[in-house]
């Protein structure tokens, strides 16, 4: 069983469109994340979310919004897509331990905006 799964794996879309990427975890974790990895492999945190708190990286445009229908899911919605949004997006989850926060990652969604 895949611990953290994302769909779709590949997404090609035109500028200006609105798209969503889904993420599900079956680990019983209470915190989920979205990361963006650019073409140079640099990883940037976008959001951290649990049932109490949403933490947003202030550099993330408000066109990006996380939506969590339940504890096991954190979907990423992107409005008015731009060329610069092309990247690989990773979902992750962890259990809040206060000391050791090991994160488990999905396989990634490669988004290409044309």
Partner 1 sequence: GDSVTQMEGPVTLSEEAFLTINCTYTATGYPSLFWYVQYPGEGLQLLLKATKADDKGSNKGFEATYRKETTSFHLEKGSVQVSDSAVYFCALPNNNAGNMLTFGGGTRLMVKP
Q: Which positions lie near partner 1, rule CB under 8 A?
A: 4, 31, 33, 40-43, 45, 48, 50, 53, 55, 57, 90, 92, 94, 96, 99-108
Q: How far is the CB of 19 from partner 1 (least distance, A)?
A: 20
Smaller CB separation from partner 1, 16 or 61: 61
* Nearest-approach distance from CB 48 to partner 1, in angstroms: 4
**Minimum CB distance to partner 1 smaller for 64 or for 106:** 106
Closer residue to partner 1 (CB): 26 or 96: 96
Nearer residue to partner 1 within complex by CB, 17 or 101: 101
CA pair distance 44, 47, nearest whole angstrom: 10
CB of 22 to partner 1, least distance (A): 15
* Residues 20, 25: Cα–Cα separation, whole Å: 17
User: Could you tell me what percentage of the chain is helix, strand and coil, using 3-state DSSP and rounding each to the nearest 5?
Assistant: 5, 50, 45
Q: Could you identify the residue written with the tokens 């090609």? A: 12
CA 108/CA 38 separation, integer angstroms: 12
> Rounded CA gap, 87 and 95, in Å?
26
């Amino acid at each position: 069983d895949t611990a953290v799964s994302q769909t779709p794996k590949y997404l090609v879309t035109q500028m200006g469109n609105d798209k969503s990427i889904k993420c599900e975890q079956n680990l019983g974790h209470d915190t989920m994340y979205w990361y963006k990895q650019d073409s140079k492999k640099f990883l940037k945190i976008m959001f951290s979310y649990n049932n109490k708190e949403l933490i947003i990286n202030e550099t993330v445009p408000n066109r990006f919004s996380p939506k969590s229908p339940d504890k096991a899911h954190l979907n990423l919605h992107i409005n008015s897509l731009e060329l610069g949004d092309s990247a690989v997006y990773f979902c992750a989850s962890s259990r809040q331990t206060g000391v050791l926060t090991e994160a488990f990652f999905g396989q990634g969604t490669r988004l290409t905006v044309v």
